[in-house]
Chain A
Amino acid sequence: MLRRRLDIPLNRDGSVRFLPWIIALMVYLAGLALSGTLVLQAALDHWNRSLTGTLTVQVPPAEAGAPDPLPAVLALLRGTPGVVSAEPLTRAATAKLIEPWLGSALTPEELALPRLVDLRIDPAAPPDLAALRTRLAAAAPGAALDDHRLWLDRLAALVMSIEATALAIVALIGGAAVLTVVFTTRAGLAVHHAVIEVLHLIGARDGYIAAQFQRQALELGLRGGLVGLLLTVLTLVGIGHAGAATALFGEDVRLLPSLRLALWQWPLLAALPLAAAVIAMLTARFTVLRALKRMP
């Protein structure tokens, strides 16, 4: 006889009918916040990886009468171990870079623009950048080495603060879920006070009574959590499609960010409904045990 039987008719309470939906909503919101941070983290990693292998050297134009410092700089760079290649941007390419701002009327010579050198380094054995900087400054006064660090650091700081906010939101949602379960459980305790008292008086341990509430909470939490997860996945897929539709100029130029989660991130998202169910279960158990302590 494996019939599932509740001594306390919790499954007939009105308040209990809403619990899965509330939990579904909470898991949905938490899922969006969490996948947002995961995507951001992935994007940051991507930028990090694609930008750390490249550096830019700026060589200021020569003073009037002085020799062009560019050949010396190139020789220095190419002679540095760890540097894979050092290619100067042609003047035409430099002009093209500034054309959107200044138009094509002025030539780089007239503007005395710095020359840019595109530097590729071996990420496995990178050169000592500090030493390289000093030597560059000696070879060509005013030459600067830009390793994009500043830009990446600022980006990382931004991403971190967004992530912290998102995680705080997830924590708040968790707190709201706990409160919701506490109130639902208390309502259940009040509605079924008579039955609980009988169980108590015929010798049921607190754990026996709590088990009924906690089983119920686990089940409702899981059901609601799965609905929430489904909504999250549907939303991610939907935004992913919309993002792909805006990628008119190739993968790198999208209006919406790519919302693709890495493989290892999916289990993290899938753990949300489980976490919701476990939180609901533990909260129900704790609430019931606390209330029963007041019985003689």
Chain B
Amino acid sequence: MVRFENVGMRYGAGPEVLRDITMDLAAGSFHFLTGPSGAGKTSLLKLMYLAERPSRGLISLFGRDIATTPRRELPAIRRKIGVVFQDFRLIDHLSAFDNVALPLRVAGLGEEQIHEHVTELLRWVGLADKLNARPATLSGGQQQRVAIARAVIGRPSLLLADEPTGNVDDEMALRLLRLFEEMNKLGTTLVIATHNEALVTRFGHARLHLENGELTQLRARERQAG
């Protein structure tokens, strides 16, 4: 599903922020991505959602070598990837509804279907009364939920979330994690970057740990009943 071989990455002419990343995430797996601030978690996710290109090494997604994939085929691959950006990246002038609808519109779905799916999902994340609100008028946690809704609305095969629970209370964090688990059960592969050790421990999925741009893959722990 996601395969990295000796991947290195640098921004411009800067130093390598990721070094020798080699990993193979199976389809349907669930990984937490941890590591101290500045370790390179966001950078690793950027490589996975095709926002950056590696400076060396090989990346393959869904069994396709990205370096040799023609540019015109990349949008189709991107549509199979849902991303929760660390800084949300909601579009200011669009309502919560239109922000969440964006991936479906880009994919060319009909408005009727879009309306149904988006309304239902926003209700599910507790924003039924904020459909028409602009992002700027929402709290940090509400914006984060809109961002998550936008990432999952297209039922992506691969979901990448960068600190998706950073701005919500524990109860909402649990609720969102359960949403992710539901998606995982339906076959979505997940990578969730987080600083929240409690969640990592509680959900006990495999962990990718970054330290100074290098990867230490820890063994998946026994899943704790909870």
Distance to closest chain B CB from A145 (angstroms): 71
Contact A199 B51 (CB under 8 A): no
- In the complex with contacts A7-B102, A7-B105, A296-B52, A203-B76 CB distance below 8 A: yes
Which residue of A is nearest B52, CB measured?
A: A296
A9 interface hit (Cβ, 8 Å): yes
- In the complex with contacts A194-B89, A296-B51, A296-B52, A199-B98 CB distance below 8 A: no
Contact A203 B107 (CB under 8 A): yes
Contacts of B94 in A (CB 8 A): 7
Q: How many residues of A contact B (CB 8 A)?
A: 19
- In the complex with contacts A1-B111, A5-B98, A202-B79 CB distance below 8 A: yes
Contact A296 B53 (CB under 8 A): yes
A49 interface hit (Cβ, 8 Å): no
Contact B79 A198 (CB under 8 A): no
Distance to closest chain A CB from B91 (angstroms): 5
Contacts of B111 in A (CB 8 A): 1
Contacts of A204 in B (CB 8 A): 75, 106
A201 interface hit (Cβ, 8 Å): yes
Q: How many residues of B contact A (CB 8 A)?
A: 28
Docked complex Cα distance between A195 and B91 (Å): 6
Contact B79 A203 (CB under 8 A): yes
Contact B91 A7 (CB under 8 A): yes
B50 interface hit (Cβ, 8 Å): yes
A17 interface hit (Cβ, 8 Å): no
A241 interface hit (Cβ, 8 Å): no
Distance to closest chain B CB from A35 (angstroms): 42
- Which chain A residues have a beta carbon within 8 Å of chain B's beta carbons? 1, 5, 7, 9, 12, 194-195, 197-205, 208, 293, 296
**Could you write out 7 A-B pairs with CB less than 8 Å apart?**
A1-B111, A7-B105, A201-B51, A201-B78, A203-B106, A205-B75, A296-B53
Q: Given A201-B51, A202-B154, A203-B78, 11 more contacts at CB 8 Å?
A: A1-B115, A5-B98, A194-B89, A199-B106, A200-B78, A201-B50, A202-B79, A202-B106, A202-B150, A203-B76, A296-B51
